[in-house]
Structures are given as structure tokens and as C-alpha cells.
Amino acid sequence: MNLVIDPTGGIRCVYGEAIDLRTLGSLTITRASHVEPDESGAWWAELLPVGGPRLGPFARRSDALAAEQCWLENHWLPAHSIDPSISGEFSCL
């Protein structure tokens, strides 16, 4: 799990259960994407909630979830690592 700490003390991450995030402070959890199958059973990771692309199709849900996490950690997380609007709060997706 990657935690990004901004200059105001705010922490951002892609939500996971590797550590108990509540120990870091009060949480704000926001949905970043939706991983859903289409009518033919192919899986898609829709990252529109964070301004990202639609990834897929994938034959397996686990592949769509892995692509979702990879995109978030490589595009969303670094792009928002210094965000003055966070103001010391802890925010995860």
C-alpha cells in the first residue's frame, strides 16, 4: 500500500486493508472507480469518478481489479499528492 503525505499532513492512498487506516486519523473514503462486467461477461474498470479512462475488456475480474489499482497508483495518486484542499485530512479510495 502506497501512502502519499502532503505538506499539510494529509494522507492519500488507494484503499487497502494492509494496515488499519483508522490509526492514522479520521478517514474520508471516496469511490474512485467501478469494476463491472458487460453483457458478454467481459470485465471493465471504469475510472470516470477520478477523471480516468475505461480500462478493458478483461477476461477475469481479478485482471480488471489489478489494472484499476495500477492506474490509480500511477496516475491518480501522484497527481494528487500535493493538494492544498486536503488540509491535513486522511483520504482513501
Contacts of 31 (CB under 8 A, 6+ apart): 49, 93
18, 72, 86 from 39: Cα distances, Å: 33, 25, 38
Per domain, the residue ranges of the chain are 3-92
> Taking the model in full, what pTM does it have?
0.77
The H-or-E segment that residue 79 falls in is: helix 77-79
pLDDT band at residue 93 using 50, 70 and 90 as cut-offs:
very low
- 56: pLDDT strictly greater than 80: yes
Q: Is residue 14 left, alpha or beta, with left meaning phi > 0 and alpha meaning psi from -120 to 50? A: beta
